[in-house]
Structure 1
Amino acid sequence: MASVLNVSAYLFTRIDDREQLRPLLRERAGALGLKGTIILAEEGLNLFLAADEASVRSFLDDLRGDVRFAGLTARESWSDAQPFRKLLVKLKREIIRMDRPAIRPESGRAPAVAPVRLRRWLDQGHDDDGREVVLLDTRNAFEVDYGTFAGALDWRIERFTQFPDAAAAHRDELRGKTVVSFCTGGIRCEKAAIHLREAGVEAVQLDGGILGWFEHVGGAHWTGECFVFDEREALGPDLAPRAHA
């Protein structure tokens, strides 16, 4: 039985003391034997961590003791081995770089659609108002090549900073439709949905991203795997690592 708990989590929340918080989190995570990456930015926190279940849950519970992170939710998966080589705690300008300072999710989230509801939309061929549903993959092209939703739009971007220009080029194609932006865990698609809405597109994000879809729905409407940024490389719809040569 797999014994290593892997979690990915993010939260857009104002952090004004990143420099002071960084060594505290590094010490706490290190003492519990966690490995992976924690990213701190003024706009929020993003983490990918793994260790034994008790240690991971202890760290997350302690983190949620800070009122700023009380709403943190984590996507979980399991592996037989530790997928990370070391523990890193990084300070960055954005937890996911978009280079659009006006996009501030910490000031208000984009509307989200739950995986079960989105599956119903896809099964019936339209949303609850009868509008055409368009799935928009906001990940980088190489990630999309591992797998994506059937029929999803893929603009072949190489980095997320290219998304705003791609959105401008395709904006007219999206008008009058319900656009569901999606990504691995939710960060990119949340910023993408906000940007699209400000451009006049009726966009929502897939709550929990692809990993949330796998957790609640499985492999319905999905083809392939989901790339992850650790030594597991990719996860299947059962959230189990896939072997790659």
Structure 2
Amino acid sequence: MKEILNIAAYKFVQIDDAADLREQLRALTHSLALKGTILLAPEGINLFVAGTAEAVRSFLRALRDDARFADLEAKESWSEAQPFRRMLVKIKREIIRMDHPAIQPAAGRAPGVDARTLKRWLDQGHDDAGKPVALLDTRNAFEVDHGSFEGAIDWRIAKFTEFPKALAAHADALAGKTVVSFCTGGIRCEKAAILMREAGVADVLQLEGGILKYFEEVGGAHYRGECFVFDGRESLAPDLSARANRASARAPEDPDLSIKR
């Protein structure tokens, strides 16, 4: 029986009190016996937390009491055992490292497309304006090797900081297409979409909620393989189940690894 609720969430929002917020979240997660990773930076929050359903939902309610996170959306999946070994709350320069000043929280989010609309576009072979759709996988190559959308563009980057250079080398191939960037949970593809728009790529959208939200809403249509996740489960099938009970596997200790979605 799957009794552990796993949530993944992020939000780009200005955070000026990261040190105080870190201590509040440390105390809150400890009191609820949660495990996982929470990253805080001036640009926002990025988290992956697991525990009993009651504890996780209590955590979300408390977090959303802060006006900055009132509309925080969380993607859910279940596991038989706790996929993390401990709880980490860290302050970073960026909640997902790109080494490029692409994100300005006050400027708003990158335009997006929801899972059901993307599936419809892929079913019909074009977007609603009749333009071809180019799916751009913004994840690292080893993640892509676990599974990706059919025909997705894969620049074989080893880490997300390589994305700006890859874009400079391949941007011309995106011309004339509606580009949909995607990643595991939404954070990398949102940064990538903003960067591409800054670079002059005309029609760029992010997949809202990433692959995990797509799985949750429409299943595995047009997707082949599984989705790598940075915890003890290793990867999830389109029904959001782990291929096997991997709770005993060693989850990444580096918070920049354990939450790169």
Q: Output the TM-score relative to the length of structure 1.
A: 0.98
Query: May I ask how many residue pairs the two structures share in their alignment?
Result: 245
| Corresponding residue for residue 242 of structure 2 | 241
User: What amino acid sits opposite 2:18 in the alignment?
Assistant: R
Counterpart-to-counterpart distance in 2, 1:90 and 1:143? 24
Per the alignment, residue 4 of structure 2 pairs with 4
Alignment of 1:56-95 (within 5 A): 56-95=56-95
For 1:118 and 1:174, the matched residues in 2 are separated by 17
Distance 2:126 2:20 in 1: 48
- Would you say 1:160 and 2:160 are equivalent positions? yes
Q: Is the 8 A contact 2:6 2:79 kept in 1?
A: yes
**Residue pair 1:133, 1:178 contacting (<8 A) in 2 also:** yes
Secondary structure of the equivalent of 2:158?
coil
State yes or no: 1:54 paired with 2:54.
yes
In structure 2, stretches of 5+ residues that fail to align are 250-261
**Counterpart secondary structure, 2:5:** strand
Deviation at 1:106, TM superposition (A): 4.8
1:91-240 → structure 2 map (5 Å cutoff): 91-201=91-201, 202-240=203-241
For 1:224, the aligned partner's letter is: G
Aligned residues with identical type, % of pairs: 67
Is the partner of 1:8 in helix, strand or coil?
strand
Runs of 4+ in 1 over 6 A off after TM superposition: none
**By how many angstroms is 1:239 displaced?**
0.3
Distance 2:213 2:105 in 1: 19
Partner AA of 1:114 in structure 2: D
Contact 2:14–2:105, Cα closer than 8 Å, also in 1: no
Say which SS state the counterpart of residue 36 (structure 1) adopts.
strand
Amino acid in the other structure paired with 1:45: I
8 Å CA contact retained: 2:110, 2:206:
yes
SS in 2 for 1:179: strand
Could you tell me which amino acid in structure 1 is paired with residue 204 of structure 2?
Answer: A
Quote the Cα distance in structure 2 between the aligned partners of 1:106 and 1:87: 30
Distance 1:182 1:86, change over 3 A: same
User: 1:9-44, CA deviations, whole angstroms, 9 ceiling, x for partnerless residues?
Assistant: 000000000011111100001100100000000000
Q: Tell me if the contact between 1:6 and 1:48 (Cα under 8 Å) persists in the aligned partners.
A: yes
**Unpaired runs of 5+ in structure 1?**
none
Q: What letter corresponds to residue 151 of structure 2 in structure 1?
A: G
Structure 2 length-normalised TM: 0.92
1:68-110 CA distance string (max 9 Å, x none):
1111000000000000000000100000001112432452111
CA, structure 1 residues 150+105, in 2 after alignment: closer, same or farther (shift >3 Å)? farther
Give the equivalent residue in structure 1 for 2:15: 15
Tell me, yes or no, if the aligned pair for 2:75 and 2:212 is still in contact at 8 Å: yes
